[in-house]
Amino acid sequence: MVQLVGSLRKELADSLSACRVLVVGAGGIGCELLKNLVLTGFKNIEVIDLDTIDVSNLNRQFLFQKKHVGKSKAQVAKESVLQFCPTANITAYHDSIMNPEYNVEFFRNFMLVMNALDNRAARNHVNRMCLAADIPLIESGTAGYLGQVTVIKKGLTECYECQPKPTQKTFPGCTIRNTPSEPIHCIVWAKYLFNQLFGEEDADQEVSPDTADPELTWNPADTEARATASDQDGDIKRVSTKDWARSTGYDTVKLFNKLFKDDIQYLLTMDKLWKKRKAPLPLDWLEIQKLACPQEVTGTGLKDQQVLGVAGYSQLFSRSVETLRSMLADKGDGAELVWDKDDPPAMDFVTAAANLRMHIFSMNMKSRFDIKSMAGNIIPAIATTNAVIAGLIVLEALKILSGDVEQCRTIFLNKQPNPRKKLLVPCALDPPSANCYVCASKPEVTVKLNVHKTLVLALQDKILKEKFGMVAPDVQIEDGKGTILISSEEGETEANNSKFLSDFGIRHGSRLQVDDFLQDYTLLVNVIHCEDLEKDVEFEVVGDAPDKAPTPPSAQEDKNVANGNKDSAEPSTSSKGELSNNQKSWSESGGHKRKLHDAETGEASAKRQRLDQPLAADEEDDDIIALD
């Protein structure tokens, strides 16, 4: 007779109480997940989150209350969850999981890692750390009513980075408000500004500088003090942007200088934000009108495909504000406008505001046509979706810990039932991609760039860190001399940053060995020199996975063959042997590498691609844009 502890077999219940698990993220999914874990019987939990609690979190992150605003999410989540189960042993870290102290050895302390994150960079990093530590990872995400849970295990399943990801459509609020780095950040900000001035105000769509940005301090007390400075009980008193604008009569000059001068000057006082970023440049209305020509345009073709100058967008901002003010007045007191990309005044406003902000943050401005195509609808965060996904994470965790790994699935939560009338659609886990530049036996990638125009700093920041998700890369040129191009040791190669790649003999066919010791990750980069990249494109990754660069000189090729790096798409015999060993050890717990049929529907896992598409378009994230 099977002995039960609650609803679980005694053996499994004992395993839960003894195992040590890590939860990364204590936001929308994280709150639900932590509650589920302690109520299921997990006793040893560690949770890490860099973020602090904002007023806008309180409608769905139920572990937090008004009095907690400004405090550490991880710490408050721990305190709240202990009320469900006082005997649980929970450790909370108010920190970034990308901090070097959370290294491979740290990850090896856990039997299981569960992600509840809201950004791709951290997801990529945790994926690599779990691969390096050979620890199972349960990945998850939500986007409105859509959700997904999957299991990642080294050597047996796809890793998080095996498949190319669509452009991220959700971003942390502090990125939108403080440190935009892409045009889409400025477009989202401009849409929020429209609602703050003319539409329905939403605490999740604040546009003023975020003084509680977690990057500003590593001291939780300082962050809490700033966030609660206006009211000790945590009830933040916010001045309505719309009320302020009305009090000025929607004066375009005052609006302009407040948004593009005063707020930017305030951001500049947050000096920690600009130590490794280019600082923004404030705009002044009178100076722009004196110095620039409003008729300045770039580009040819239709009017919507032209890019105006700063003065032109300043005038467009002024005209659109006047038009929208009149439209709002015509509707009467208490009226609101609804942003619609097909409404010319609304589109003029967003185009002008977004481009002015792009210019301030040193980005190339975009045409009205480009902005209209990028300005899609903002996806709301749904508390119920978070709850469903958190429950599915625990179910997958139970399968892993009970040894029923063959039952693990990727599970999609759909907005509408599929033809079989199911909202939850399980699919078989796919095996690793042989061409993945992260989990392949010999990760390799090909990058097309202009070696005479690409700076070493751009290689480090834009290609290795931003594109390939590295944290502290070291780069060595495979030139027979072992030239160190980039070192993660501070100051060691700083003098190289302002030099071009060609200054170090890098040319068409050169190969760079890149190591990130924190992630225990090595990547071979093949360089293709190209002088005819598209306008504003600094580099391209060739193909979805590594392609071969032209064959280097024979001596270099001999060296690469000896190192087993000649063809990453074909693992060496030894690496296949390692994969087999991994399979064996995981199979002893019931795992299978082959593609399984969908246990629920009987459909082959090839169907997964169709099921995957709706979520892929909105793949990111737990909390949407300005929520967390």
Residues taking part in catalysis: 174
Sheet strands (E) in 190-270: none
DSSP assignment of 71-138 equals: SBHHHHHHHHHHTT-TT-EEEEE-S-TTSTTS-HHHHTT-SEEEE--S-HHHHHHHHHHHHHHT--EE
CA 324 to chain centre: 34
Q: Return phi, psi of residue 502, to 5°.
A: -65, -25
Enter the tokens of residue 84.
């469900």
Q: How many CA atoms lie within 13 A of 70 on its CB side?
A: 19
Can you read off the two tokens belonging to residue 528? 């293709």
Q: Does 299 appear as a known binding residue?
A: no
Print the SS3 string covering 490-507: CCCCHHHCCCEHHHHCCC
Q: Is 26 annotated as a binding residue?
A: yes
Q: For the sheet containing 483-486, what is the strand order?
A: 483-486, 474-477, 511-516, 521-529, 444-449, 539-541
Is 577 marked as a binding-site residue? no
d(CA 495, CA 490): 11
Q: For residues 628 and 626, give the distance between their C-alpha atoms in angstroms, rounded to a whole number.
A: 6
Q: Which residue has the tokens 């390692």?
A: 578
Write the DSSP string, 23-61. EE--SHHHHHHHHHHHHHT--EEEEE---B--GGGGGT-
Residue 463 annotated in ligand binding = no
**119 annotated ligand-binding residue:** yes
**How far is CA 110 from its chain centroid?**
24
Residue 612 marked as a ligand binder: no
30 in a known ligand binding site: yes
120 is in an annotated binding site: yes
Q: Residue 359 has which token pair? A: 């210019």
Check whether 257 is labelled as a binding-site residue: no
**What's the token pair of residue 155?**
């050597």
Which residues touch 243 (CB under 8 Å, ≥6 apart)? none
Q: Is 59 annotated as a binding residue?
A: yes
Which helix or strand (DSSP H or E) is residue 175 part of?
Answer: helix 173-177
Residue type, 155: G
Consult the annotation and say whether 97 binds a ligand: yes
Reading phi first (left if > 0) and then psi (alpha if -120 to 50, else beta), residue 397 is in: alpha
Tell me whether residue 332 is annotated as binding: no
Task: Please indicate if the annotation marks 33 as binding a ligand.
Answer: no
What angle in degrees, to the nearest 10, is found between the helix axes of 383-402 and 28-40?
40
123 has binding-site annotation: yes
Is 421 a known ligand-binding residue? no
Has 555 been labeled as part of a binding site?
Answer: no
- Residue 122 in marked binding region: yes
Q: CA separation (Å) from 455 to 516, 527, 620?
A: 20, 14, 31
Element (H, E) at 323: helix 310-331
| 564 known member of a binding site | no
The bridge status of strand 8-9 relative to strand 4-5 is antiparallel
Tell the burial category of 459 from Cβ atoms under 10 Å away from its Cβ (0-12, 13-18, 19+): buried
Q: Is 624 annotated as a binding residue?
A: no
Pair 340, 325: CB distance under 8 Å: no
Check whether 319 is labelled as a binding-site residue: no
Binding-site members are 25-30, 49, 57-60, 73, 96-97, 118-123, 159, 162, 436, 439
Binding-site members for ATP are 25-30, 49, 57-60, 73, 96-97, 118-123
Binding-site members for Zn(2+) are 159, 162, 436, 439
